[in-house]
Amino acid sequence: MTDPRPRRSLPRRLAARIVGNALVLLARFITAVRADWRGVEPVARQRVYYANHVSNADMPMIWACLPGHIRRITRPVAAADYWLKTPLRAFVGPEVFNCVLVDRNREGRTEDPMIAILEALDEGSSLIIFPEGNRNMGDEPLLPFRAGLYNIGRARPDVDLVPAWIANLNEIMPKGEVIPLPLICTVTFGAPVRVEPGENRGNFLARAAAALVALRPEDVEERP
């Protein structure tokens, strides 16, 4: 398997590894993040993990809770406009997290995000995606899913789509706060879903969203 991405210099790759490990330690120190593998085993199979999105810390958190051998082959799909804004972000996003950067801006984008996503899958990488598209600020557990998850499931039907519910992050780091609170964060991985032959987009996305919401920990009381 050849890596089509540009080969970066050794010190840069080393720096990216060190920053990555430091972020994992920080996430573990503050939130004791724990992966609960309820529906799948933690093995390095190719998968698309799709998760709920409430905070900017979501992606680092799910990345940090994956075991090292899975983390190394897993690439988060993230917004290019966010991760290329400053030189620091451009280092952390593409190099530390090894993000697949996509253009969120529907008008005026030159490349269809699906091309980059399918390219990454064809390299053998697993992906992390947030199908809601934006951070969920409301009281509903999930925003309506965008079509991306369905398109991926149809284009690469052999890849498992694994729901991952991230609990508590909206309290650990709500929008607008700088200091994360030390609270326990759990990421629950559920049983994989696939697009059934002939299944339409609406049905599939509803089913995928239901599979994700079903992973919410029961013991967390519903806050009015």
Cα–Cα distance for residue pair 85/48, rounded to 1 Å: 26
219 scored as a contact of other proteins (CB under 8 A): yes
Please tell me the number of Cα atoms within 13 Å of 221 on its side-chain side. Answer: 2
Tokens of 96: 């530390």
Cα–Cα distance for residue pair 172/55, rounded to 1 Å: 9
31 scored as a contact of other proteins (CB under 8 A): yes
Size of the site for other proteins (CB under 8 A): 15
32 scored as a contact of other proteins (CB under 8 A): yes
184 scored as a contact of other proteins (CB under 8 A): yes
Which helix (H) or strand (E) segment is 71 a member of? helix 68-71
Cα–Cα distance for residue pair 115/70, rounded to 1 Å: 23
**Minimum separation from the CB atom of position 139 to other proteins (A):** 13
35 scored as a contact of other proteins (CB under 8 A): no
Taking contact as CB under 8 A, which single stretch among the options 48-56, 78-86, 123-131, 168-176 is the one that binds other proteins?
Answer: 168-176
Cα–Cα distance for residue pair 176/19, rounded to 1 Å: 24
Q: Tell me whether residue 15 or residue 183 sits nearer to other proteins (CB atom).
A: 183
User: From the list 154, 171, 194, 216, which residue makes contact with other proteins (rule: CB under 8 A)?
Assistant: 171
Tokens of 156: 């690469």
Residue ranges binding other proteins (CB under 8 A):
30-32, 34, 168, 171, 174, 177, 179, 181-184, 219, 221
